Structure 1
């Protein structure tokens, strides 16, 4: 009896410990999942950024140059027009994205016919499966009244030739349409998932109180989507400031009707590979980074992205 009494308290914790999964196994798996991402981030994100930082503050011979590279690019006659082009595009693109993506997500979420809702989500998402360059090549045909399937609409808008459609004054809207077609579908699916996280009891209580669909969307769904809208704005802002593929391909396809220095990224490309001035190109990239971070901070603070519910 003494032996049993002495060993039982020891054996019970041992059995409980045996039933517990080892903590080290879960930790090792977690580190394994994130290790590849960390390595890729360091190789293609952090190290290039540090290298660009060094280039931006040195000259062609590696000597410290202070703000000379920044003064050179800001004083370039092409710099401020490029800033204006990107700014106009961002304003139109972000407003269209926030308004129409949120509206379409709410409309699709309100559809009670399951197969129709799934079909619409698939239709919205499919254009995003195309790579950026492939999408722009497709739009080269859509924007040409001579070959476009919507030539009647283009003619009704007063466009009779491809050159008229891609006139520099029309480009912010053109790029917005292309970007919306390729990128909005994925955000609609994300917003749809966010709407599914809103408690059904809250929606039902609003209906019992007499709220209609528009009031539910405005008073309940939109406030609860605020963080997701803010996140969408930050990610789309980061992508929008990098405008390059669309104007570059249009410039080549239009025989320079669209200038090859239309956007800041194109101007950085010109500095690096036409003027062999990598230091100036790095200065432009850092200016873009600072602008994007500042605007992202506005989305974070106004959208309450890191606030706890």
Structure 2
């Protein structure tokens, strides 16, 4: 009996030592999988931190600075909404709103129709090399800065030197002034914006289409759906959130219309006014009238409009609802 007790105590002592050693080893070395997860987490925090720094420096701080000027007077005293009222009562303000609103209608409609349509076309051609070539061609204009693209279009729209001058003359435009008549500007600005900005969105939509399960498309084909029915009843509904995301960002960017009308105004020597858009009007307040506060008020109004429209789209579309 005593021998058995000694053996049992020896066995328990050995097992205890093994458990202690194992616990110490686990505490000291978490293992390769744990180390990988820990490293990935730190890398993620690093990327987020860099973004937050730039967001604060070039987003939050300028916004707060504009809000401060919008609600103070030249002496720094609180002025309430007087700057917003001053900007809204300017005789050019309502006209600028109309110009930007009309441009947004053309711009957003062209994005939704043509970007989605071209992305669907690329997806249908994905089996061959044609799709890769088209994606590259679509994306090339996006490599140009906004000012550079406008300069290219100034050259294209002048019938005297344009490579499509014969087409412009065939449409009845014989001079640059006839092409950039005020009634044509919303369409012209839409063409410039689409040429420079649509390529990136086409690539985004194409990637979203690739994320649609092939089983869903195969089921639609088995049910007898053709290419048009599959696109309209399956692919486009599954792209809904991406389309909403595109519309929100395009709306925000469209309200900031400035480079195109500003360069066109300088190139046309006043044929296109320097107060065509709200951003141009804010620029005129700041640097022609020396009224920084009213200029900041316009920027704050644009910010509020963008936030409200984005909120409406997000809520009405169920943007954050789980699929």
User: Normalising TM by the smaller chain, what interval?
Assistant: over 0.9
Higher Cα Rg: structure 1 or 2? 2
Q: For residues 119 and 12 of structure 1, what CA distance do their matches in structure 2 show? A: 58
Q: What does 1:275-286 correspond to in 2, within 5 Å?
A: 275-286=289-300
Structure 1, unaligned runs of 5 or more:
none
Please state if 1:159 is matched with 2:173. yes
* Deviation of 1:18 (Å): 2.8
Normalising by structure 1, what TM-score? 0.96
Q: For residues 272 and 55 of structure 1, what CA distance do their matches in structure 2 show? A: 12
Please state if 1:225 is matched with 2:273. no
Within the candidate set 53, 76, 91, 2:90 is matched to: 76
Please state if 1:5 is matched with 2:19. no
Within the candidate set 89, 92, 109, 1:95 is matched to: 109
Q: Secondary structure, in 3 states, of the residue corresponding to 1:145?
A: coil
Q: Which residue of 1 aligns with 2:317?
A: 303
Structure 2, unaligned runs of 5 or more:
1-10
C-alpha spacing 1:174/1:286, structure 2 compared with 1 (3 Å): same
Deviations 1:239-287 (A, max 9, x none): 1010000000000100011100110000000111111110000000011
Q: Which residue of 1 aligns with 2:163?
A: 149
Normalising by structure 2, what TM-score? 0.92
Aligned residues: 309
Please state if 1:114 is matched with 2:124. no
* Deviation of 1:2 (Å): 4.0
Deviations 1:111-153 (A, max 9, x none): 1443111000100011000000000000001111111111122
* Cα RMSD, aligned residues only: 1.4
Q: Secondary structure, in 3 states, of the residue corresponding to 1:65?
A: coil
Q: Which residue of 1 aligns with 2:45?
A: 31
* Deviation of 1:174 (Å): 0.2
Q: Which residue of 2 aligns with 1:185?
A: 199
* Deviation of 1:301 (Å): 2.3
* Deviation of 1:198 (Å): 0.4
Q: For residues 112 and 180 of structure 1, what CA distance do their matches in structure 2 show? A: 23
Q: Which residue of 2 aligns with 1:269?
A: 283
Within the candidate set 252, 262, 277, 1:248 is matched to: 262
Within the candidate set 138, 143, 147, 2:152 is matched to: 138
Q: Secondary structure, in 3 states, of the residue corresponding to 2:34?
A: coil
Q: Secondary structure, in 3 states, of the residue corresponding to 2:30?
A: helix
Deviations 1:177-209 (A, max 9, x none): 000000001000000000001000010011011
